[in-house]
């Protein structure tokens, strides 16, 4: 099976802009989670979607949002970008039956 894919891999934006990141889970996986990774805060959970419904949410401001489509693909959106949003955004998928989460390579977002 193909692994988790994320697009784009790299992104440069300026403050105040918005951005949309995409994640395609492993075929058959219905759960998709998003994480933010920074040197200062480590890996922080953003939210998790299962069958198009947000099931869990981390402690991020409302500027961070996401959605999941009927084919399990997921997008996350960050509006009004701030310098502190510069990070590696990781997507992970799992079957939900087991707890194994498989991560994609991430999208490196730089906010100037």
The least CB distance from residue 49 to other proteins, in Å, is 9
The least CB distance from residue 3 to other proteins, in Å, is 9
Q: Which is nearer to other proteins, 56 or 80 (CB)?
A: 56
Q: Which is nearer to other proteins, 19 or 92 (CB)?
A: 92
Q: Which is nearer to other proteins, 14 or 38 (CB)?
A: 38
Token readout for 14 is 């300026």
Site for other proteins, rule CB under 8 A: 4, 31, 33, 35, 42-43, 45, 48, 50, 55-56, 58, 90, 92, 94, 96, 99-106
The least CB distance from residue 103 to other proteins, in Å, is 3
**CB count, 10 Å around CB of 82?**
12
Q: Which is nearer to other proteins, 21 or 106 (CB)?
A: 106
For residue 7, the number of C-alpha atoms closer than 13 Å in the C-beta half-sphere is 3
């Amino acid at each position: 099976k193909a692994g988790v894919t994320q697009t784009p891999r790299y992104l440069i934006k300026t403050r105040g802009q918005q951005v949309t990141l995409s994640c395609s889970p492993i075929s058959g996986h219905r759960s998709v989670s998003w994480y933010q990774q920074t040197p200062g805060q480590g890996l922080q959970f953003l939210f998790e979607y299962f069958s198009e419904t947000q099931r869990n949410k981390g402690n991020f401001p409302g500027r961070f949002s996401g959605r999941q489509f009927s084919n399990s693909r997921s997008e996350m959106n960050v509006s009004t970008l701030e310098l502190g949003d510069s990070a590696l955004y990781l997507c992970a998928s799992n079957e939900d039956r087991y707890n194994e989460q498989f991560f994609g390579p991430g999208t490196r977002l730089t906010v100037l």
